[in-house]
Amino acid sequence: LGRAIALLDGLLAADPDHPSVRVDAARALRNRAMALTRCGRPGEADGLRRRGLDLSARLTAEFPADPEFRLMH
């Protein structure tokens, strides 16, 4: 997941408004945060979780009618 997040960060830098890249990044960040928490590394997980939730919240605000984005929270 670490490499996936790095790749998605690059894609976000190139096109920060692309919804599907933002969805994938939000999911990857939250999944990595869950994995780190389960491994006893909650300090590392917090920042990733916040980034994922922030991306999800912005997508929900921008696309309120899209059920995929509403279910991300």
25-64 per-position pLDDT tens digit = 999 999 999 999 999 999 999 999 999 999 999 999 999 9
Instruction: Please give the pLDDT value at position 73.
Output: 60
Q: What confidence tier does 72 reach under pLDDT thresholds 50, 70, 90?
A: low
Q: What confidence tier does 68 reach under pLDDT thresholds 50, 70, 90?
A: confident
For 1, the token pair is: 């997941």
CB 26 within 8 A of CB 50: no
Q: Please tell me the distance from the alpha carbon of residue 29 to that of residue 35, in angstroms, as a whole number.
A: 10
Q: What confidence tier does 9 reach under pLDDT thresholds 50, 70, 90?
A: very high
Q: Where are the alpha helices (DSSP H) in 1-73?
A: 2-14, 19-38, 42-62, 67-70
Four-point Cα dihedral 73, 9, 49, 71, nearest 10? 10
Instruction: Supply the pTM of this predicted model.
Output: 0.86
**Residues across the chain:** 73
